Amino acid sequence: MHIAIAGNIGSGKTTLTQLLAKHYKWDQLQEAVDNNPYLFDFYKDMQRWSFNLQIFFLNSRFEQLLDIRKSGRNVIQDRTIYEDAYIFAPNLHAMGLMTTRDFENYFRLFQNMDSAITPPDLLIYLQAPVDKLVKQISERGREYENSISIEYLKRLNERYEAWIQTYDKGKLLVIDVEDNRFHTDPEDLGLIISKIDAEIHGLFPMETPKKPAVKEAPKAPAKAAKAPAKAAAKKR
């Protein structure tokens, strides 16, 4: 089973990945952030490092998908390869931070990869307004995210909403996290888990269908039918 969690920067993907992996006792595949050699440089000079960053993310996500298929493990994946190709790379291109030549080269590479991968069994999209994203980014205090602008987050959010409306790779679960505190509230987390169980197993995963009761065929009233016939004969 492969569940992937999609969402904008600061939507809570990493936290939910960890919580679900713990609940289901599945492996978790985190986004390659700490070992990404381009991330700090990218946020300092997006135009110079955009292509390098996106190629690194694309390749690391592709490697994760190959590993999932090869191992057959149950996994929760933090962010998808589709977000790289349909959200981040085209957004950088539209903002003039990635050249058309680099973007077209990048997208051809993605298309080749896409033909060789298997989509997740369930995609969870964490939907959040920009002010919620800003608040959560500020709270987690990652140094390299200090330069992220509200305009950048807004552009990403618009692309996410457009992409999720056309997603047709498999099952999709949209979670509105504006007022959802799944990271601290067990009840909110439990509601998300219930929705996931419903998508994976159906509404009643533990209930086995009851066998219909077998009705006995009515016995033919053979003797009772003959009696009235004899009585009628005597009267005649």
Residues 6+ apart with CB under 8 A from 83: 6, 160, 163
For the chain, how many residues are written? Answer: 236
Roughly what angle, to the nearest 10 degrees, separates helices 13-24 and 186-201? 70
- Which neighbouring-strand residues pair with 126? 7, 175
What letter would DSSP give residue 87?
I
- With contact defined as beta carbons under 8 Å apart, do 41 and 114 qualify? no
Give yes or no: 78 in active site.
Answer: yes
Q: Which of 45, 78, 188, 197 is catalytic?
A: 78
**Which three-class secondary structure state does DSSP give residue 48?**
helix
End-to-end Cα separation, the chain, in angstroms: 81
At 113, which amino acid appears?
M
**The token pair that represents 232 in the structure block:** 């009628």
Hey, which residues are catalytic here? 78
